[in-house]
Copies of this chain bind each other. A is one copy, B any other.
């Protein structure tokens, strides 16, 4: 396809958030014009794209009209109108990741069934249609009840510890999944291009914030036994191959205390757990996504420097116009890379940016060096409300 990139080349992107914002500089390096559809007039991407269309990414007509004159369509969020994308694809517009892949991943029930049908290790589960159904499956407790659709960042997810909590469950199509007592949560980002070539980034270790169940920080590459890393890579490769998917796929996995590797969830787009690749790897996940969907050769994924990534979340008790505090202290540390997402307003726990920090080259123990730097960085850069 690359030889047939006819300039000006119009890439349509559904979603204009921080993931798109980090994709745009990579598109500009290839002289690709990016047109963005997002409902938010203040979307982080708006100032940096060739054309911004304010509109719903879940409405058939809006997505279809937006997509008609594009050379290629991709997404930075999976909750989009798949029917419109399928129609565009039928009419000859290239759509990567493919609509059928998005449809499957949008529905946690279909996603789990896909793993089961393809013998991809995942937590035991049952599908439920009503809250009542839960009573027949108490043997799975403690468990997590997940809405089939529209769950995102912890929303639509309910922990069920004991049988007397079933009333907290969802009364609509969901999946009840046995709670995995995992040793570690890791993530593998895999890319597959239009030629079927596959490339894997080294696994990263996710450290979750126990309160908010969001990624607190991650360490890349993860310290893992050879066999665990190999199994994680095997599973990621198997999933993207079985999906016959083109693009970037983030595969989140549990490593159990007895050394099993189970897939948790996947995201068919650049992912929070791959932000460090911008500075720490030969190719970034954003460039890799573009290479994959444009039919270019995939880039090398080697680690240049061990790194940690810390999300910058809005301060508790602060809502309103954004003010950043401590930027000079953070930038005074060596090997620190600040990425602010340019959101006009902050609220508690909102993702406002991230910091990547690289290990000191001379450090005898990079992992420890990174842990220490993360502890120093925590709270150093604060996102507050200017009007408080």
Contacts and interface: CB of A to CB of B under 8 A. Distances in A.
Interface stretch (A1-9, A62-70, A151-159): A1-9
Contacts of A386: 6-7
Contact of A3 (B3, B6, B321, B328): B328
A304 B331 CA distance: 18
B300 A342 contact: no
A50 interface: yes
Contact of A299 (B24, B48, B302, B331): B331
A31 interface: yes
Interface string A336-347: 011111101000
Contacts of A3: 325, 327-328
Given A47-B49, A334-B300, A324 B33 contact: no
Nearest to A282: B335
B299 A30 contact: no
Contact of A29 (B321, B325, B339, B358): B339
A366 to B, nearest CB: 15
Nearest to A51: B47
Interface in A313-366: 321-325, 327-328, 331-332, 334-335, 337-342, 344, 353, 358, 361
A172 interface: no
Contacts of A296: 327-328, 331
A64 B2 CA distance: 44
A121 interface: no
A342 to B, nearest CB: 4
Contacts of A341: 31
A55 interface: no
A276 interface: no
B47 A328 contact: no
A142 interface: no
A19 B342 CA distance: 22
A337 B297 CA distance: 13
A206 interface: no
A28 interface: yes
Interface string A1-22: 0110111100000000000010
A237 interface: no
A109 interface: no
A308 B313 CA distance: 38
A285 interface: no
Contact of A282 (B25, B295, B334, B340): B334
Nearest to A50: B47
A8 B8 CA distance: 32
Contact of A31 (B30, B324, B335): B324
Interface in A225-265: none
B327 A5 contact: yes
Contacts of A146: none
A352 to B, nearest CB: 9
Interface string A264-307: 00000000000000000010000000010001110110101100
Interface of A: 2-3, 5-8, 21, 24-25, 28-31, 33, 47-50, 282, 291, 295-297, 299-300, 302, 304-305, 321-325, 327-328, 331-332, 334-335, 337-342, 344, 353, 358, 361, 386
The 6 closest A-B pairs by CB, nearest first: A2-B328, A25-B25, A31-B340, A297-B332, A31-B342, A47-B50
22 contacts: A2-B327, A2-B331, A3-B325, A3-B328, A7-B323, A24-B25, A24-B48, A25-B28, A28-B48, A28-B340, A28-B342, A30-B327, A31-B322, A31-B340, A31-B342, A31-B353, A47-B48, A282-B358, A297-B328, A302-B361, A304-B304, A304-B305
